[in-house]
């Protein structure tokens, strides 16, 4: 079955970016002139996603407004003869079918995904986090969808991460079989194992494709660390019943925009690629190096 739906958990508080995130969602952090969430949505649509399911909270109204029509602004742009800009913001709203679900309590990313159960229905779906972007082609999601179409099983996205701080930041995959072409069968994912206990160099980050049989597991799952329900725990339980794989990302550069330094790197790199800004910005950077 084709992957048509994407769930984006976006109800977190974004405490790493306080005070900015006191009133503005971290997903709305601008990378040049587009928020992080737009890059994620555009990647999804390019990979064939038709429906975007955003799991939001009471403080995330700005995301809903961003992907909605703004008729007053459209009218003003049309009156001013700025037809290209008017079309740009209209196309943004029409790029996919958006569904918004409120997560009334912040009980973990697995709990957030469980909120999408009725909308997802009985079909496989993708999950991507709302504060991470990538550079490179084919996109992260496209690589995962290609792997899913071959194996018809849950696919986790992974990249080799061997930095000192990475082992206490990501979950690492314990691999039982190399399937070739950067795909590995997974025995389990060990969250934040520390360098000494990491079972492989493959950190599972940013995205996954899961099947609807994850929902009963999430529904009956006991809370883990911090009293939260984690997707990784549910995936481990699923791996005891059916094959689960990781797909190693190829030719991609990853930016965790929930991290201040990584966010700044993303702004610089995406700005340098812009035809309208890149050359002037590069010249400016050379004056301050």
Cα–Cα distance measured from residue 9 to residue 277, given in angstroms and rounded to the nearest whole number: 32
Q: Is 223 exposed, middle or buried (0-12, 13-18, 19+ CB in 10 A)?
A: middle
Cα–Cα distance measured from residue 128 to residue 126, given in angstroms and rounded to the nearest whole number: 7
Dump pLDDT digits (tens) for 207-251.
999 999 999 999 999 887 778 899 999 999 999 999 999 999 988
Burial profile 232-269: b = 16 or more Cβ within 10 angstroms, e = fewer: bbbbbbbbeeeebbbbbbeebebbbbbbeebbeebbee
**Among residues of the chain, what percentage have pLDDT more than 90?**
78
Strands 183-191 and 171-180: antiparallel
Helix (H, G, I), strand (E, B) or coil at 230: coil
Taking residues 80-108, what's their average pLDDT? 93
pLDDT at 4: 96
pLDDT at 228: 86
pLDDT at 88: 94
Q: Are 57 and 26 in contact (CB under 8 A)?
A: no
Dump pLDDT digits (tens) for 183-195.
999 999 998 889 8
pLDDT at 223: 84
pLDDT at 162: 83
- The domain locations on the chain are 5-288
CATH 3.20.20.100 fits 5-288, yes or no: no
The pTM (predicted TM-score) of the whole model is 0.92
Taking residues 73-86, what's their average pLDDT? 94
Strands 132-135 and 5-9: unpaired
């Amino acid at each position: 079955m084709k992957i048509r739906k994407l769930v984006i958990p976006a109800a977190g508080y974004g405490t790493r970016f306080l005070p900015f995130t006191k009133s503005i969602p971290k997903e709305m952090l601008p990378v040049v002139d587009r928020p992080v969430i737009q890059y994620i949505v555009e990647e999804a649509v390019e990979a064939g996603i038709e429906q975007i399911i955003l799991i939001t909270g009471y403080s995330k109204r700005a995301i809903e407004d961003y992907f909605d029509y703004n008729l007053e602004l459209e009218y003003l742009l049309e009156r001013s003869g700025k037809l290209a800009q008017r079309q740009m913001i209209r196309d943004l709203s029409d790029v996919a079918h958006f569904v918004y679900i409120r997560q009334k309590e912040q009980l973990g990313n697995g709990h957030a995904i469980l909120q999408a159960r009725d909308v997802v229905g009985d079909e496989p779906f993708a999950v991507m986090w709302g504060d991470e972007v990538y550079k490179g082609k084919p996109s992260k999601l496209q690589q995962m969808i290609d792997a899913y179409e071959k194996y018809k099983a849950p696919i986790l996205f992974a990249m080799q991460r061997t930095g000192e701080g990475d082992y206490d930041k990501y979950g690492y995959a314990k691999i039982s079989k190399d399937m070739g072409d950067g795909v590995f069968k997974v025995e389990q994912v060990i969250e934040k194992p520390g360098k000494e206990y990491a079972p492989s160099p493959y950190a599972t980050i940013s995205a996954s494709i899961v099947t609807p049989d994850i929902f009963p597991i999430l529904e009956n799952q006991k809370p883990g660390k911090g009293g939260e329900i984690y997707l990784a725990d549910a995936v481990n339980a699923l791996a005891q019943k059916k094959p689960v794989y990781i797909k190693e990302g190829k030719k991609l550069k990853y930016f965790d925009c929930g991290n201040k330094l990584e966010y700044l790197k993303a702004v610089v790199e995406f700005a340098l690629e812009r035809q309208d800004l890149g050359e002037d910005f590069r010249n400016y950077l050379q004056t301050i190096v």
